Structure 1
């Protein structure tokens, strides 16, 4: 048998106050002067009775759903992304907001969540299309980031620093023939291409040369690629991320290639795997937890009509030197 939901009217009868006064307290209505003893008594009785706010009614009354919608590209949820989302979700929860994520898929038929949830803010990991922006604004969403269908600015939060640090570190060690190892996951093709070009630009600026080799690797192709690279004189590898760097390292060790003596390797993201490998992996650390908090602060500044947060140290990449370089 279903239990009857406790309403604000039930709380009002229990404390002997008007429904309007109780509603002001339970909804934390701004501009109402409710004596603190009255407020305390109403909240205590609501808790005793098991009152739970009707979120739909509150959203209708306040004009806020207290939902932040994050639109994700079709990327795998790796360690870095999970850390990023966990921290953003925690920071928003502490402020009384829920983080909801959605991933549009090519050819997908699901109705976009911005049409059904009426979120207070929509955040995107990539610029939205003009069509998406038009749909969001037609649905009444005022706060959208990024606000325009602009081209990506890879350096807006220092994201270009990681590939630059990888290349500069290897050049400083005296490596001259460098290969780029990308991921064979097609969902990451755009990100891989961006990191490769950022790294290649640093290499060209410093030496006038491009990568000696560049291939996207997986478990079935890494060994052949590494043996071919070493045979051709490659002495260092810039890897798209730590997972790909681990594939390169494994292939090198199986082929009795000395690391870092013959082949130096530097990854990206500083995942737990980087520290557990033997030899331990040199890599680039990005504060994904800090970036998650920055994302939450960006959303909260929008709903509170405040200035956007200033990007701080959490957006800066750092080189972590270990045993593979």
Structure 2
């Protein structure tokens, strides 16, 4: 007997199809422990479920277990560019391979409290990219919801967190420019305040590398994605005998290349430029853009493994090594 078209197939339909009691069907479909179900009966249930196209309700699973198979990602108010987009896509794929559903919810300052968001979903875990408050962590723990914080810097809670260090990115930019003979560096800071969580640690990495290499601190300028404004920044760096600039990302680096053209100048002869992210158009720039990139597949795989470990109450895996951050050498620096 087929279920009515347009109506969700239920366990009651499976019971009728198999000619068994709803209790027996429920035991089989839910794989209930400590029940002596003959193998022939179990196969009757599974065959009936397959014939009807039965799939268990996510809501019902959540009621039985107290949580869903959802991993809730609390995404800060970030512009979702190619790099963040790639991380989220890879993370969704990595979690799906582990039987988990990835749901992203933006967290806008002044919007609804974090507690309202996760309580509405009852996830298996919450993945955040900014510090969670003590009260939120305590409430999640009390509800049996695991929390993982993938921070962009240091944190006061060490055990349940993964640090994604952007300082390594800035350090490699500065080291590359120094290795190519530049002793006075600049830093092109983005004009979007929402990017400070990435920009600040990257700038700190550049500063640290300069100090360790015995170079002056980088001359920092805010560079909008606008050729005339970028040209003004280029002029100031040139006036201060800056030979190479670490750009916040590839988009800012491309703005600098446009700013150089405004003066009839070019990279790297007049000003070396190195970006971050290796976005698709980086290799099409004139000259092709030297850039620093992070293996987002490796980051996503580690985040997914960390979430699974925390949900299972198991030790967290070791973070990936520094070799996931590399310099792609092209013509601009």
Give the TM-score of the pair, scaled to structure 2. 0.88
Does the Cα contact within 8 Å between 2:165 and 2:201 map onto a contact in 1? Answer: no
Does the Cα contact within 8 Å between 1:158 and 1:316 map onto a contact in 2? Answer: no
Q: Tell me the residue number matched to 1:305.
A: 313
Matched, 1:28 2:36: no
SS of corresponding position for 2:213: helix
In the aligned structure 2, how far is the partner of 1:130 from the partner of 1:183? 31
The 3 A distance-change label for structure 1 pair 38 and 83 is farther
The 3 A distance-change label for structure 1 pair 320 and 32 is farther
Q: Tell me the residue number matched to 1:163.
A: 170
Matched, 1:176 2:179: no
In the aligned structure 2, how far is the partner of 1:170 from the partner of 1:5? 61
In the aligned structure 2, how far is the partner of 1:249 from the partner of 1:152? 41
Q: Tell me the residue number matched to 2:56.
A: 53
Deviations 1:131-188 (A, max 9, x none): 43244345x1441113999349999445322111110111111112211001101111
In the aligned structure 1, how far is the partner of 2:34 from the partner of 2:83? 43
SS of corresponding position for 1:101: strand
- Structure 2 segments unaligned to the other structure (5+ residues): none
Q: Which has the higher contact order (CA 8 A, sep 6+)?
A: 1
Does the Cα contact within 8 Å between 2:187 and 2:246 map onto a contact in 1? Answer: yes
SS of corresponding position for 1:102: strand
Matched, 1:295 2:309: no
In the aligned structure 2, how far is the partner of 1:16 from the partner of 1:115? 39
The 3 A distance-change label for structure 1 pair 258 and 45 is same
Matched, 1:96 2:104: no
Give the TM-score of the pair, scaled to structure 1. 0.90
In the aligned structure 2, how far is the partner of 1:233 from the partner of 1:248? 16
Deviations 1:107-149 (A, max 9, x none): 11377321111111111112212343244345x1441113999
Q: Tell me the residue number matched to 2:155.
A: 150
| Superposition map of 1:211-226 within 5 A | 211-219=218-226, 221-226=229-234
Q: Tell me the residue number matched to 1:16.
A: 19
Q: Tell me the residue number matched to 1:82.
A: 85
Q: Tell me the residue number matched to 1:113.
A: 117
Deviations 1:181-211 (A, max 9, x none): 0110111123212211221111122125111
In the aligned structure 2, how far is the partner of 1:155 from the partner of 1:63? 26
Q: Tell me the residue number matched to 2:273.
A: 265
Give the number of aligned pairs.
324
- Structure 1 segments unaligned to the other structure (5+ residues): none
SS of corresponding position for 1:69: strand
Deviations 1:58-103 (A, max 9, x none): 2111233001011111111111111111111112222221111122
